[in-house]
């Protein structure tokens, strides 16, 4: 009986679980810019009621990750080129620093997991599977950043990803056609193996820079 009570007490509130699921959909580009969302449809998808979904949506709207219009219409925000450029440049400031902080905590197991994510995203790119590409790209980066154990940098980075994530999905309609792009993930993995902070920082920053160029090109 005590174990049941402890399990209930440790279980996060439903609105928190829904918030995290919806946030991940945004971060991984599963939702597109301008896409309309329905509380009822979201509640059905998450197998919950409308009330916790509404709480999660309002929370994400306060973070700028969702937009609630004058008529209470919910949608994924659309961004200008300048807004996207600014978000990507903030990424270029924060993420290399998180990678450096993570370097001392990186284990062979983490590197192995990152290699697996990278292999999956390369496979998805060859198959033109944008959803799998985006999911594994997100997993690759956050496996690294989470190792920083930073309760300052990590939430800031997540707040950026939740806003630009839908545009990453939008900007890569044909990932199978991205041949000839320098593999900065491979460079980052090599830097992690060698414990080379300078090379790691360069690889992450270059990866973000390439992403910015693709995004802005597609937005034209």
CATH classification number, 81-219, choose in 2.40.33.10, 3.90.850.10, 1.20.120.530, 3.90.1150.10? 1.20.120.530
What fold does the segment set 2-75 form as a domain? Arc Repressor Mutant, subunit A (1.10.10)
pTM score: 0.87
The Cα–Cα gap between 108 and 52 comes to 39
CA distances from 184 to 11, 142, 160, 210 (A): 39, 15, 20, 9
- Contacts of residue 115, Cβ cutoff 8 Å, sequence gap at least 6: 189
Mean per-residue pLDDT over the chain, rounded: 88
Treating both helix axes as pointing N-terminal to C-terminal, what angle do 130-146 and 153-171 enclose, rounded to 10 degrees?
160
- Contacts of residue 181, Cβ cutoff 8 Å, sequence gap at least 6: 210
Mean pLDDT of 120-131: 87
Per residue in 26-48, pLDDT (tens digit) is: 999 999 999 999 999 999 888 87
Domain boundaries, the chain: 2-75, 81-219
Per residue in 173-185, pLDDT (tens digit) is: 455 455 556 789 9
Task: Give whichever of 27-31, 51-55, 112-116, 161-165 has the largest mean pLDDT.
Answer: 112-116
């Amino acid at each position: 009986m005590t174990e049941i009570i402890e399990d209930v007490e440790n279980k996060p509130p439903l609105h928190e679980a829904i918030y995290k699921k919806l946030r991940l959909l945004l971060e991984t580009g599963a939702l597109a810019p301008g896409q309309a969302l329905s509380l009822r449809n979201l509640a059905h998808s998450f197998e919950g009621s409308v009330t916790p979904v509404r709480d999660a949506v309002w929370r994400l709207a306060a973070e700028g990750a969702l937009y609630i219009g004058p008529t209470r219409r919910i949608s994924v925000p659309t961004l200008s080129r300048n807004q996207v450029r600014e978000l990507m440049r903030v990424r270029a400031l924060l993420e290399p620093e998180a990678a450096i902080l993570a370097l001392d905590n990186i284990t062979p197991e983490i590197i192995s997991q990152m290699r697996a994510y990278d292999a999956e995203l390369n496979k998805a790119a060859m198959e033109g599977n944008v959803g799998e590409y985006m999911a594994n790209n997100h997993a690759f980066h956050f496996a690294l950043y989470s190792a920083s154990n930073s309760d300052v940098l990590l939430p800031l980075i997540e707040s950026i990803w939740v806003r630009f994530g839908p545009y990453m999905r939008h900007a890569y309609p044909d990932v199978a056609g991205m041949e000839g792009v320098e593999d900065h993930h491979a460079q980052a993995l090599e830097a992690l193996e060698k414990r080379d902070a300078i090379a790691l920082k360069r690889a992450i920053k270059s990866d973000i820079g390439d992403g910015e160029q693709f995004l802005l090109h597609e937005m034209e």
